[in-house]
Amino acid sequence: MKAFFMNRSLLAAGLGLALTATLPAHAASTTPVVPAPQLTETSAPPVAAPYPDTSVAHEQVEQAFALAQKTHRKVLLDFGGNWCPDSKMLSGIFALPDAARWLDSQFVVVPVNVGRINTNLDLAERYGVTIKAVPTVIIVTPEGHALNGDGSKALGNARSMSPQAVLDLISDWNKRG
């Protein structure tokens, strides 16, 4: 799983974090919204422990917004827990090669560990979302406007969704802004 997040926009290294930009410095003022790719995979293996330690969440989110502003992408906040089967499945879908490429082209993805739904909840509340179940996904513009506060819990049953359905839903949210 470390390799998955190393290829993502955020790299958690112990308690320190480093960010890598994937778009050139001369990118347009806003990344064009690209529809989700058509996936060939009809399922994905769950990821054993997709969320970093709870202590790094605030720093990850802060750095993600800085990177999102520089690269003109949105921030995808993935709130979950390493104990949750649906969170593990959602991370497995995000790790599929075509899904990961598309997600990285559109978003700075931040996996936020909420423990047993008892920590880092304030990060979702900033965008008007109360986490009652995980996974909860919020797409936020670089300026801090949540695009899907009304549907943030829609991925809470990721185990019953196809990878394509997950990406299509995120793509629909992405089109809102």
Whole-number pLDDT of residue 61 = 98
> Could you tell me the end-to-end alpha-carbon distance of the chain, in angstroms, rounded to an integer?
30
Specify the higher pLDDT residue, 15 or 167.
167
Local structure of 128: helix, strand or coil = coil
Q: Tell me the whole-structure pTM to 2 decimals.
A: 0.84
Whole-number Å distance between alpha carbons of 101 and 77: 17
pLDDT single digits (tens) 21-74: 343 433 445 789 999 999 999 999 999 999 999 999 999 999 999 999 999 999
pLDDT single digits (tens) 151-165: 888 999 999 999 999
* Cα distances (Å, whole numbers) of residue 21 to 10, 48, 57: 9, 26, 19
Query: Could you give phi then psi for residue 59, rounded to 5 degrees?
Result: -65, -40
155: which residues sit within 8 A by CB, 6+ positions away?
Answer: 86, 90, 135, 136, 137, 161, 166, 169
For the segment 117-129, the average pLDDT, to the nearest whole number, is 97
Specify the higher pLDDT residue, 27 or 92.
92
